[in-house]
C-alpha cells in the first residue's frame, strides 16, 4: 500500500514545454520544468504517449511500443529525464495502450502481408453477407466498428478509429508481447503504468447489439478480463516492488472495479472511472449542454467512495485530464471566483479516499480556451462535430458555445508559464494556439502570489504525505441531502477531518456538530469554527479534531 500517500501529475507532452522551437512539446522541455514539479510536491509524472505513432489519436494509435517519436526526443533524452526526475524524488508513469495498435504497427503490416501468425494477433471475422460487417457494433469514434479487407474477404475490429485495430487477447502470444513491453520499460526505469481502456480487452461475444446501440455490453468488463489482468500482473509489473498501476475503465461498474483494484494486489493498484464527468451531459449526450446535476455528482462520489472502501479497493481521483474540459470552467467559476472555486474543487477531491491526479495547469487554475473560430480547433472530434451540428441546423453561435464547453482542445492548449508570447511554451509556432487567459493566468504570476491556487495544492499534497487520516482514514458521507454542499468525514481511531465544500456562487448555510474541531485549511482567510456555518461562494473548509 505504498501508494496511498502519493499524488500523480499528468503531463500532456505535446503541450507542456517546447525546447527546440518547433512548436511541439518535448522531453527536454519536461526536464527544464522538473524543479517546478518538485516545488509543487508531486510524487509521479504520468505522461500521455510519446512513442512512435501516426498521431491519428494523439499517440493512442501506437506504431512502435519501444521507441520514442523523434518529435519528443530520443532514448538518451528519456534516460536523462529518468535520472533528473529520480534526483527530485519523482517517479515516472507511462501509458500502455494494449486494446489496439495502429494499423502502421509492424504486427498489423505483417498481418496484411499474409503472415498468419500476426493475423492472429488481431480480430478478423467473416461478414454476415456481401458488404455486411460481422455485427452492428459502432466505433467509439463514429461509424461501423469493422473495416473490410478485400484480400481476406474478412473484416477487422476497431472499437476506435479505423487505423486502431483491436488486438486479440485470446491469443497467448499477444498477452506475452504486452508483458514483454511492460518489462522493457521497467528495465528503462519506468515503474508506473496507466493502462488505456484496459477493460475492453476481453470480448464476450460478437453478436448484434439488439438495441442498435454500439455493442459495448459485449466488449466491456468481459468474461476473461480479470484473468488477463492477473496474468499480466504476474508476468510483468507484479514482479517489480516499486510498481504503481492504474487502469482506465470505460463504462465500468463498482462490482468490477473492486476486483480490478482490490488490496490483494493481483490485478491493479487503482482505477479511473468517468461517471462523475457526465453529470452535465443532457440525456447523457456529450454535445448537449445542461447545468451540472450537483445531487447526481454527490451521489456518484458517495457510491464510488463507499463501494470501493467496503472492498478495500482504491480509486484514482481526478477532475481533469487530456480528454476533459477544464474543471474550473465546468464545475467552478473561472471568472468572478477563480481562486475560490479552484481551491474548493481541489479540496473536495484531494481529501477523499484514493490517489489524486493533477492535470497540467489545474494547479494554477487554467480555464477553458474559449476559442471563437473553428480554425483554432485541432482535435478531430471537435472539427467533426462542428460539421455534424451545422448539418443539424444549429447556428454557429450555438455550436461555438458547445465547443467552448466541451471540446477536448480546452485541455490541450499550451501550459501557461508566463505572459510572454505563446505563454512561454515555445519560441516557434505552437501546434495549437495558447488560450487567451495566459496573460493573467500563468505560473510566473502564480509563484509570486502567496494566496494562489498553487499554494493551496501544495498544502493539500503535504497533508496527504504527512497525515495518516488522509492516507488510510475511512470515508463517511455527510449532509447528503444538502442541495449546495458536498461534505464528508475522514476518520481513523485517533484522528478526524470534516471536509465541507460549497459548490455554488451563492451563500449557503449548514449545521454541523464541530465541537472539538478547529479550522485546519480553508480557501477564505477568516473562516470560523461554528456549528452553524454560513458558507460564502465556493467556500471550502477542512476541520480537524483538536489533539
Q: Which residue has the cell 476497431?
A: 158
The torsion angle over the Cα atoms of residues 451, 453, 458 and 459, rounded to 10 degrees, is 60
C-alpha distances (whole Å) from 332 to each of 111, 159, 294, 306, 343 are 49, 34, 12, 25, 10
Are the C-beta atoms of 230 and 267 separated by less than 8 Å? Answer: yes
Tell me the C-alpha distance between 534 and 541, whole Å. 12
Q: Has 509 been annotated as catalytic?
A: no
Segment 391-409 mean pLDDT: 95
Phi, psi of 216 (to 5 degrees): -60, -25
**pLDDT (tens digit per residue) in 361-379:** 999 999 999 999 999 999 8
In whole numbers, what is the pLDDT of the chain averaged over residues? 96
Tell me the C-alpha distance between 301 and 307, whole Å. 10
Confidence of residue 1 (pLDDT cuts 50, 70, 90): low
Q: What is the pLDDT of residue 140?
A: 87
Segment 185-200 mean pLDDT: 96
| H-only helix segments in 236-395 | 254-260, 294-310, 327-330, 338-350, 380-391
**pLDDT (tens digit per residue) in 67-91:** 999 999 999 999 999 999 999 999 9
Q: Where in the chain is the domain with CATH 3.90.400.10?
A: 106-166
Are the C-beta atoms of 44 and 90 separated by less than 8 Å? Answer: yes
Residue 264: pLDDT above 90?
Answer: no
Are the C-beta atoms of 261 and 268 separated by less than 8 Å? Answer: yes
Residue 246: pLDDT above 90?
Answer: yes
* pLDDT more than 90, % of the chain: 93
The torsion angle over the Cα atoms of residues 130, 133, 134 and 137, rounded to 10 degrees, is -160
H or E element in which residue 522 lies: strand 517-522
**pLDDT (tens digit per residue) in 37-65:** 999 999 999 999 999 999 888 899 999 99
Q: Which CATH superfamily is domain 106-166 in?
A: Oligo-1,6-glucosidase; Domain 2 (3.90.400.10)
Q: Where in the chain is the domain with CATH 3.20.20.80?
A: 8-100+193-200+248-456
Residue 547: pLDDT above 80?
Answer: no
Question: What is the reported pTM?
Answer: 0.96
Residue 196: pLDDT above 60?
Answer: yes
509: Cβ–Cβ under 8 A, 6 or more apart, which residues? 532, 533, 534, 535
Residues 428-440: b if buried by 16+ CB within 10 A, e if exposed: eebbbbbbebbee
- Cross-strand pairs, 400: none
Catalytic residue among 61, 168, 248, 489: 248
The half-sphere exposure of 222 on its side-chain side, counting CA atoms within 13 A, is 23
Residue 212: pLDDT above 80?
Answer: no
Single out the residue of 155, 119, 118, 163 nearest to residue 137, CA to CA. 155
Catalytic residue among 26, 95, 196, 409: 196
Tell me the C-alpha distance between 399 and 377, whole Å. 13
**pLDDT (tens digit per residue) in 23-42:** 999 999 999 999 999 999 99
Residue 101: pLDDT above 60?
Answer: yes
* Fold designation for 471-545: Immunoglobulin-like (2.60.40)
In the chain, what is the straight-line distance between the N-terminal and C-terminal CA atoms, in Å?
Answer: 26
Q: Has 18 been annotated as catalytic?
A: no
Pairing of strands 124-125, 154-157: antiparallel
Segment 166-183 mean pLDDT: 98
* pLDDT more than 70, % of the chain: 100
CATH code of the domain occupying 8-100+193-200+248-456: 3.20.20.80
Question: If you count them, how many residues does the chain have?
Answer: 547
Amino acid at each position: 500500500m505504498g501508494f496511498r500517500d502519493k499524488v500523480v501529475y499528468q503531463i500532456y507532452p505535446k503541450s507542456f514545454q517546447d525546447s527546440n522551437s518547433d512548436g511541439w512539446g518535448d522531453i527536454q522541455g519536461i526536464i527544464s520544468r522538473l524543479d517546478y514539479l518538485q516545488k509543487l510536491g508531486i510524487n509521479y509524472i504520468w505522461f500521455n504517449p510519446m512513442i512512435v505513432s501516426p498521431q491519428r489519436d494523439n499517440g493512442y494509435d501506437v506504431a512502435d511500443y519501444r521507441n520514442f517519436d523523434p518529435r519528443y526526443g530520443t532514448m538518451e533524452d528519456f534516460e536523462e529525464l529518468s535520472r533528473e526526475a529520480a534526483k527530485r524524488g519523482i517517479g515516472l508513469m507511462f501509458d500502455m495502450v494494449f486494446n489496439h495498435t495502429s494499423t502502421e504497427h509492424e504486427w498489423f503490416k505483417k498481418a496484411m502481408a499474409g503472415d498468419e501468425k500476426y493475423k492472429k494477433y488481431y480480430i478478423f471475422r467473416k461478414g454476415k453477407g456481401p458488404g455486411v460487417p460481422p455485427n452492428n457494433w459502432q466505433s467509439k469514434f463514429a461509424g461501423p466498428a469493422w473495416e473490410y479487407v478485400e484480400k481476406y474477404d474478412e473484416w477487422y475490429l476497431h472499437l476506435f478509429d479505423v487505423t486502431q485495430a483491436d488486438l486479440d487477447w485470446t491469443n497467448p502470444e499477444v498477452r506475452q508481447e504486452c508483458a514483454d513491453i511492460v518489462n522493457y520499460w521497467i528495465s528503462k526505469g519506468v515503474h508506473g503504468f496507466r493502462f488505456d481502456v484496459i477493460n475492453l480487452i476481453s470480448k464476450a461475444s460478437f453478436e448484434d447489439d439488439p438495441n442498435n446501440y454500439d455493442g459495448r455490453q459485449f466488449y466491456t468488463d468481459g468474461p476473461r478480463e480479470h484473468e488477463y489482468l492477473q496474468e499480466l500482473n504476474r508476468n510483468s509489473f507484479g514482479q517489480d516492488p516499486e510498481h504503481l498501476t492504474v487502469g482506465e475503465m470505460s463504462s465500468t461498474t463498482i462490482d468490477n472495479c473492486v476486483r480490478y483494484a482490490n488490496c490483494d494486489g493481483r490485478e491493479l493498484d487503482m482505477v479511473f472511472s468517468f461517471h462523475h464527468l457526465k453529470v452535465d451531459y443532457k440525456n447523457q449526450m456529450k454535445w448537449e449542454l445542461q447545468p451540472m446535476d450537483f445531487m447526481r455528482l454527490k451521489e456518484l462520489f458517495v457510491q464510488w467512495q463507499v463501494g470501493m472502501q467496503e472492498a478495500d479497493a482504491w480509486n484514482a481521483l481526478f477532475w481533469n485530464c487530456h480528454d476533459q474540459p477544464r474543471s474550473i470552467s465546468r464545475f467552478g467559476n473561472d471568472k468572478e471566483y477563480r481562486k475560490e472555486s479552484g481551491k474548493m474543487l481541489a479540496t473536495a477531491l484531494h481529501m477523499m479516499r484514493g490517489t489524486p491526479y493533477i492535470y497540467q495547469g489545474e494547479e494554477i487554475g487554467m480555464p477553458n480556451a474559449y476559442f471563437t473560430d473553428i480554425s483554432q480547433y485541432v482535435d478531430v472530434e471537435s472539427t467533426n462535430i462542428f460539421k455534424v451540428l451545422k448539418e443539424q441546423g444549429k447556428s454557429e453561435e450555438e455550436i461555438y458555445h458547445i465547443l467552448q464547453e466541451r471540446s477536448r482542445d480546452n485541455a490541450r492548449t499550451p501550459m501557461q508559464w508566463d505572459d510572454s508570447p505563446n505563454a512561454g511554451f515555445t519560441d516557434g509556432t505552437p501546434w495549437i494556439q495558447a488560450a487567451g487567459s495566459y496573460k493573467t493566468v500563468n505560473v510566473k504570476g502564480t509563484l509570486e502570489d502567496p494566496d494562489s491556487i498553487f499554494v493551496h495544492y501544495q498544502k493539500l499534497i503535504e497533508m496527504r504525505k504527512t497525515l495518516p487520516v488522509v492516507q488510510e482514514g475511512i470515508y463517511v458521507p455527510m449532509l447528503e441531502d444538502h442541495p449546495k454542499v458536498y461534505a464528508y468525514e475522514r476518520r481513523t481511531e485517533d484522528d478526524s477531518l470534516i471536509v465541507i465544500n460549497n459548490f455554488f456562487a451563492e451563500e449557503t448555510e449548514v449545521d454541523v456538530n464541530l465541537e472539538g474541531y478547529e479550522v485546519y485549511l480553508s480557501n477564505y482567510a477568516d473562516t470560523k469554527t461554528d456549528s452553524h456555518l454560513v458558507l460564502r461562494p465556493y467556500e471550502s473548509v477542512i476541520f480537524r479534531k483538536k489533539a
